[in-house]
């Protein structure tokens, strides 16, 4: 009775309803601090609930607001090139939700739930690109590119669910219809680029792989007199004015009928149901690229007045004033005759990146559940049929690389899965269980991966292209689990699992200099592709217990720990021989994943230190094993503390990413970093109340 599109599992969110005929008020107020940009943030929430009409009508209203200033310091490598990236990000989130339920009788109720969420993300990014021995237009030799980006993105999500639950004579019935809409609107995305050519550019990635060094015209990168910090040397290259709009609509209807029966004096039920989900998505983009055609010199110095990060990567690299987008736009609007629109590039970019698509899913299932004395048996089968249609554009170039025509095209795909499942649960004792499951499931490709559209960032020399031949992933899963409960104060569980995946999906990264708009520049292209088969075998263990058996003040200690080990192998077409295959680790799958938390809870006081560990994994496959990209293993350390003033009022504090753990990607070997991004630590303190 759950969606079949879930190989690793799914989360079933059940929203709360009003429970008391007295007005209940819950809320929180928080303030925080982000160390990387040394700015504060705030958050608040409020919940009201009450039941009316002799407890028949329940109303619950929620609202929350969150505003934060974030950032990151980042350096990246692409072949012989090096980038420095400085991000400043401001985010807000407004949430509204309501749940209204009406009890027609003690065994029958209807409900209406609504959710609205508004998220904004304002990004300011400064980027240096150091290109030794460049062969990129407009220069040949050594060059440094400097880009400033100013982008605002808004995401609006709304959802409405109307349903009912009825426990009738002889059977139980529940049903729901829902409508949800998600909009991602980028009203402006401005990127200003300037370039300077230098006589000598040396980059040393080997002496200190974690923080490479470089020199420009023989001057060390730590010297403030270095030419890469001289804005008067950067001549204006181009400016891109863009905006995007994406809309995603889901219409869903489902119904379930459960009929109890007796099997050899054992309680049992049979359950039948179906679900229809109709999904529509569109993505539109506007991209205007202007080049400077004026007669006067126009350098970055003319419009540089942007913010400066004086502590970029803790002062290891120097930053100076970036372009000020507002100052540049004022000049642009006052002098339109000095700029020329690249019309062909505009038409091509807007054509290849835009698309419309529909995805309709039809599902039906039948299952039965039987409770013997100590054994529960649950088995059934589900069928899901998916139909996909999409409209996109193909851009055709002539032999000279000039735009010839834009051809509207349509495409479609469909697939169906029969998904049988069997679950067994055996009660060894009242506190100990054994569980076994064998299941079939699948994972459908993302829209943006299957539609043959393209997303191209020529300034970053990167592109993502769709794959119309992409197939869904099929999975056969075996799970064996044991669990033991320590009364109400803890649990110890462990198990083994095996998964057999067919047509698994991975990201493939390859370089090409034949991209039509790139004018011979080497472009890194990423595309989702199917592998042949992947196998995973692993075990997991989890332990949680309040150590109340310890003496005196130690009885307030509590422990939570879990660990998962997964061995994986995946078969893909050989990257060296088209007639052969090769075996790699399954992309996206880490061998080791774990969490550990040690807490102290005694009376009104509660403190906890926790850590999360995620082992390394392949994120993208390259042209060969040496070009594969790995996300490095990561350990994050957090701490929280809370004090209950009384049973209605509680204060708390959080201290996150204490050790400033970075996000790191390397290529081939662990010493060849291609990305290291730091976020520093952040903290929040607040108060929660319940009246």
Encode pLDDT of 277-310 as tens digits: 999 999 999 999 999 999 889 999 999 987 788 8
User: Which residues share a beta bridge with 340?
Assistant: 291
Mean pLDDT of 119-147: 84
pLDDT at 307: 78
Q: Above 60 in pLDDT, residue 138? A: no
- The torsion angle over the Cα atoms of residues 304, 306, 310 and 313, rounded to 10 degrees, is -100
Q: What string of DSSP letters covers 271-335?
A: EEEEEEEEEEEEEEEEEEEEEE--SS--BGGGTB-----TTGGGGTS-----B-HHHHHHHHHH-
* Structural element, H or E, at residue 350: helix 343-353
pLDDT at 298: 95
This prediction's pTM: 0.91
Cα within 13 Å of Cα(342), Cβ side: 20
On the 0-12 / 13-18 / 19+ scale of CB atoms within 10 A, 198 is buried
> What percent of the chain shows pLDDT beyond 90?
83
d(CA 268, CA 262): 6
d(CA 176, CA 252): 8
d(CA 380, CA 378): 7
Backbone torsions φ then ψ of 430, nearest 5 degrees:
-65, -20
Task: Give yes or no for a cis peptide into 286 (omega within 30° of 0).
Answer: no
d(CA 421, CA 483): 21
- The torsion angle over the Cα atoms of residues 423, 11, 464 and 353, rounded to 10 degrees, is 120
- CA distances from residue 310 to 40, 73, 214, 267, 615 in whole angstroms, order as listed: 18, 12, 19, 70, 33
Mode of pairing for the β-strands spanning 523-530 and 462-465:
parallel
Backbone torsions φ then ψ of 300, nearest 5 degrees:
-60, -25
Mode of pairing for the β-strands spanning 581-584 and 592-602:
unpaired
Give the closest residue to 469 by CA, choosing from 421, 418, 508.
Answer: 508
| Chain mean pLDDT for the chain | 93
Query: Tokens for 234?
Result: 């950067």
pLDDT at 135: 54
pLDDT at 612: 97
3 state SS of 449: helix
d(CA 330, CA 301): 15
Sign of torsion over alpha carbons 339, 343, 348, 349 = positive
Give the closest residue to 610 by CA, choosing from 569, 641, 572.
Answer: 641
Q: For 149-201, write each residue's pLDDT tens digit.
A: 999 999 999 999 999 999 998 899 999 999 999 999 999 999 999 999 999 99
Give the closest residue to 279 by CA, choosing from 178, 360, 160, 183.
Answer: 360
d(CA 618, CA 470): 20
175 and 163 Cβ atoms separated by less than 8 Å = yes
User: Which residues share a beta bridge with 26?
Assistant: 47, 690
3 state SS of 553: helix
Q: For 409-446, write each residue's pLDDT tens digit.
A: 999 999 999 999 999 999 999 999 999 999 999 999 98
3 state SS of 312: helix
CA 190 to chain centre: 24
Q: For 569-623, write each residue's pLDDT tens digit.
A: 999 999 988 889 999 999 999 999 999 999 999 889 999 999 999 999 999 999 8
d(CA 306, CA 296): 23
User: Which residues share a beta bridge with 361?
Assistant: 277, 386
32 and 43 Cβ atoms separated by less than 8 Å = yes
Give the closest residue to 388 by CA, choosing from 430, 447, 464, 460.
Answer: 447
Q: For 562-571, write each residue's pLDDT tens digit.
A: 999 999 999 9
Sign of torsion over alpha carbons 337, 338, 344, 349 = negative
The owner of tokens 């834009």 is 406
d(CA 258, CA 378): 13
Q: Which of the four pLDDT bands, split at 50, 70 and 90, describes residue 448?
A: confident
Cα within 13 Å of Cα(191), Cβ side: 20
Q: Above 80 in pLDDT, residue 139? A: no
d(CA 240, CA 227): 25
Q: Above 70 in pLDDT, residue 490? A: yes
Q: For 466-477, write each residue's pLDDT tens digit.
A: 899 999 999 999
Mode of pairing for the β-strands spanning 201-204 and 213-216:
antiparallel
pLDDT at 463: 82
More confident residue, 321 or 8: 321
Task: Give yes or no for a cis peptide into 16 (omega within 30° of 0).
Answer: no
Q: Which of the four pLDDT bands, split at 50, 70 and 90, describes residue 459?
A: low
Q: For 360-397, write each residue's pLDDT tens digit.
A: 999 999 999 999 999 999 999 999 999 999 999 888 87
Q: For 46-87, write each residue's pLDDT tens digit.
A: 999 999 999 999 999 999 999 999 999 999 999 899 999 999
Q: Which of the four pLDDT bands, split at 50, 70 and 90, describes residue 519?
A: low
More confident residue, 447 or 211: 211
Backbone torsions φ then ψ of 446, nearest 5 degrees:
-70, 150
400: left (phi over 0), alpha (psi -120 to 50) or beta: alpha
pLDDT at 105: 95
On the 0-12 / 13-18 / 19+ scale of CB atoms within 10 A, 358 is middle
């Amino acid at each position: 009775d759950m969606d079949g599109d879930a190989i690793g599992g799914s989360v079933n969110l059940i929203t709360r309803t009003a429970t008391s005929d007295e007005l209940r008020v819950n809320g929180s107020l928080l303030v925080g601090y982000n160390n990387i940009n040394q700015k504060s943030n705030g958050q608040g929430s409020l919940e009201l609930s009450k039941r009316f009409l002799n407890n028949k009508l329940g109303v619950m209203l929620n609202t929350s607001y969150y505003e934060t200033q974030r950032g990151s310091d980042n350096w990246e490598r692409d072949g012989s090139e090096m980038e420095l990236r400085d991000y400043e990000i401001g985010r807000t989130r407004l949430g509204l939700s309501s749940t209204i339920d009406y009890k027609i009788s003690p065994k029958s109720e209807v409900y209406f739930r609504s959710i609205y969420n508004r998220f904004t993300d304002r990004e300011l990014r400064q980027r240096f690109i150091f290109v030794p021995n460049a062969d990129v237009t407009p220069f040949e030799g050594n060059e440094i590119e400097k880009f400033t980006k100013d982008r605002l993105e808004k995401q609006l999500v709304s959802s409405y669910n109307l349903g009912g639950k009825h426990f009738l004579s002889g059977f139980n019935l529940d049903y729901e219809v829902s409508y949800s809409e998600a909009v991602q609107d980028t009203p402006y995305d401005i990127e200003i680029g300037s370039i300077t050519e230098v006589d000598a550019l040396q980059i040393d990635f080997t002496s200190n792989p974690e923080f490479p060094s470089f020199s420009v015209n023989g001057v060390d990168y730590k010297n403030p007199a270095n030419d890469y910090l001289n804005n008067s040397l950067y001549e204006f290259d181009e400016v891109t004015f863009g905006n995007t709009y994406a809309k995603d609509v889901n219409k869903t209807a489902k119904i379930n009928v459960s009929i109890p029966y007796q099997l050899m004096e054992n309680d049992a039920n049979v359950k039948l149901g179906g679900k229809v989900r109709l999904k529509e998505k569109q993505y539109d983009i506007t991209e205007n690229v202007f080049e400077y055609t004026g007669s006067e010199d126009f350098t970055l110095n003319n419009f540089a007045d942007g913010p400066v990060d004086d502590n970029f990567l803790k002062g290891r690299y120097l930053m100076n004033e970036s372009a000020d987008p507002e100052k540049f736009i004022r000049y642009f609007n006052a002098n339109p005759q000095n700029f020329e629109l690249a019309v062909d590039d505009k038409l091509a970019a807007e054509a290849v990146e835009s698309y419309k698509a529909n995805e309709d899913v039809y599902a039906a299932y039948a299952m039965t559940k039987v409770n013997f004395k100590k054994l529960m048996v649950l088995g059934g089968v589900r069928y899901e049929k998916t139909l996909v249609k999409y409209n996109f554009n193909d851009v055709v170039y002539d032999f000279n690389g000039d735009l010839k025509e834009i051809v509207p095209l349509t495409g479609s795909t469909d697939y169906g899965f029969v998904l049988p499942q069997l679950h067994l649960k055996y009660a060894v004792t009242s506190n100990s269980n054994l569980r076994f499951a064998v299941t079939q499931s699948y994972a459908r490709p993302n829209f943006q991966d299957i539609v043959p559209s393209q997303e191209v960032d020529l300034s970053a020399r990167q592109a993502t292209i769709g794959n119309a031949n992409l197939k869904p992933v099929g999975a056969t899963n075996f799970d064996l689990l044991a669990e033991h409960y320590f009364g109400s104060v803890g649990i110890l569980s462990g198990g083994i699992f095996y998964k057999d995946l067919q047509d698994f999906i991975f990201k493939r990264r390859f370089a090409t200099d034949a991209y039509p708009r790139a004018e011979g520049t080497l472009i890194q292209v990423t595309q989702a592709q199917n592998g042949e088969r992947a196998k995973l075998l692993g075990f997991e263990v989890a332990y949680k217990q309040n150590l109340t058996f310890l003496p005196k003040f130690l009885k307030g200690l509590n422990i939570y720990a879990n660990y998962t080990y997964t061995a994986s192998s995946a078969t893909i077409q050989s990257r060296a021989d088209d007639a052969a295959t090769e075996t790699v680790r399954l992309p996206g799958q880490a061998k080791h994943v774990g969490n550990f938390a040690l807490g102290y809870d005694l009376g009104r006081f509660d403190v906890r230190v926790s850590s999360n560990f995620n082992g390394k994994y392949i994120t993208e496959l390259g042209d060969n094993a040496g070009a594969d990209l790995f996300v490095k293993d990561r350990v994050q350390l957090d701490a929280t503390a809370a004090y209950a003033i009384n049973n209605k009022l509680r204060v708390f504090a959080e201290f996150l990413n204490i050790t400033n753990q970075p996000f790191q990607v390397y290529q081939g070997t662990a010493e060849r970093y291609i990305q290291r991004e730091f976020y520093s630590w952040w903290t929040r303190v607040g108060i929660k109340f319940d009246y």
